[in-house]
Amino acid sequence: MLQGTVPFNNQILISLSMSPYFFYFFAAVLIFASLSVVLAKNPLYNVLSLVVAIFSLSCLFVILEAFFVGMVLLLVYAGAVLIFFLFVVMCLNLNTVTLTSSQQSRFHWLGTFVGLMFVSSFYFAAKSFIKAQTMEATSIRGTIETIGKILFTDYLLPFELTSLLLLIAIFGIVSLAQGALSTGKNTENP
Amino acid sequence: MITLGNYLALSGLIFSIGLVGVMTSRNVLKVLLSLELLLAASNLSFVAFSKFNGDYAGQLIVFFVILVAAAEVAIGLAIVVLMYRRLSTIQADDLRAMKW
C-alpha cells in the first residue's frame, strides 16, 4: 500500500479521489440542499441550506483536487456572501404574512415545465456524450502554488480587472446607500 | 468509477433546480439564491472539465466567477434593501413601474 516514493498525504488524497462513495454522498447532499433552497418557505432555511450546498460543492472540488478553488468557495461564499444574505434577511425583519402569501408566481407551471425540459435534455446530452464516459481523470492538482503561478503570469490582466470590478461595485453600493439615506431624511423631515 | 459524465449530470441537475427556482419564485431574495445555485452548477462543470482535460484554465475561470458573483450579490442585496424600504415588499410582482 505504502510505496516509498509517494508521501503519505498524497496516498490519502489519491485514494479519496478514487472512491466513488464520496462523490455519491456529497452529490446527494448537494441535490437535497439545493432542492431545499428552492422549496423551503422560510428564507432563513433557504439561506442555510445554500450554505450546506456550497459546503458539499466545495467537498466535490476537493475530490476533483481543485483545492484552491474549493477553499476560495468556502471563504467567499459560506464566509462572506451567505452571511451577507443572512444579515439582509434579519435586517429586513420580514413577517411571515408577507413571505408565505402568494409565494408562487403566475408562471409557476411554465417554470416547472421548462425545468423538467432542461433535466431531460441534460439527461439525453449526458447519454449521447460518449467521450465524457471514456475520458480519464488527469493528474493535475489545483494547489495554491500552481494556480497562483498561472494567475500572476498568464491571467494577470483579468485579475487586475477583477479588482477594478470590485471597486466599481463598492462605488455602486455607496451611491445606493447615499440615495437611501437622503430619501430617509426627506421622509423624516419633509 | 466516477467519470466526467457523472459530474456533468450532477451539474445539469443543479442547474435545472436553480432555473426552476428563478422562474417560479416571486420573492426577490429567493431569486438571488437560485441565481447562486446556477453559478454553482456552472462552477462544478468548469472544475470537472478542468480535471478531466488537464487544463488549469477552468479553475481560474471559476475563481473569477466567484469574485464576480460576490460583486453581483452585494449590488443585488443593496437593491433588495432599497426596494424593501421604498415599497415595503420584496415580491417581484409588485415592481410595476416599468410594466407596459
ipTM score = 0.91
Domain boundaries, chain A: 8-154, 155-190
Q: How far apart are CA A142 and CA A71, in angstroms?
A: 11
pLDDT of residue B60: 93
Q: Does A33 touch chain B (CB under 8 A)?
A: no
- In this complex, do A118 and B56 lie within 8 Å of one another by their Cβ atoms? no
Q: Determine the CATH number of domain A8-154.
A: 1.20.120.1200
Domains of chain B: 4-94 (1.10.287.3510)
pLDDT exceeds 70 at position A111: yes
- In this complex, do A162 and B10 lie within 8 Å of one another by their Cβ atoms? no
H runs (alpha helix) in A93-143:
96-100, 108-128, 130-134
Q: How far apart are CA A38 and CA A185, in angstroms?
A: 37
Is B43:B70 a contact under the CB 8 Å cutoff?
no
Average pLDDT value for chain B: 87
Residues of A in contact with B65 (CB under 8 A): none
pLDDT of residue A21: 86
pLDDT exceeds 90 at position B85: no
Q: How far apart are CA A100 and CA A34, in angstroms?
A: 20
Closest Cβ–Cβ partner in B2, B33, B64 for A47: B33
What are the tens digits of pLDDT across the range B58-73? Answer: 999 999 999 999 999 9
Which residues touch B36 (CB under 8 Å, ≥6 apart)?
A50, A77, A81, B18, B69, B73
Average pLDDT value for chain A: 79
CB atoms within 10 A of CB A189: 6
pLDDT of residue A129: 67
Q: How far apart are CA A88 and CA A46, in angstroms?
A: 13
Q: Which amino acid is at A73?
A: L
Q: What is the pTM of this model?
A: 0.83
pLDDT exceeds 80 at position B36: yes
pLDDT exceeds 50 at position B77: yes
CA B34 to chain CA mean position, Å: 5
C-alpha cell at B66: 466567484
pLDDT of residue A10: 54
Map grid coordinates 465524457 to a residue.
Answer: A132
- In this complex, do A76 and B77 lie within 8 Å of one another by their Cβ atoms? no
CB atoms within 10 A of CB A122: 18
pLDDT of residue A106: 64
Residues in chain B: 100
Highest mean predicted confidence (pLDDT) among A28-37, A40-49, A87-96: A28-37
Q: What Rg value do the Cα atoms of chain A yield, rounded?
A: 23
Q: Minimal Cα–Cα distance from B10 to chain A, Å? A: 7
Q: Does A150 touch chain B (CB under 8 A)?
A: yes
Is A82:A46 a contact under the CB 8 Å cutoff?
no
Total beta-carbon pairs less than 8 A apart between chain A and chain B: 241
Q: Does A78 touch chain B (CB under 8 A)?
A: no
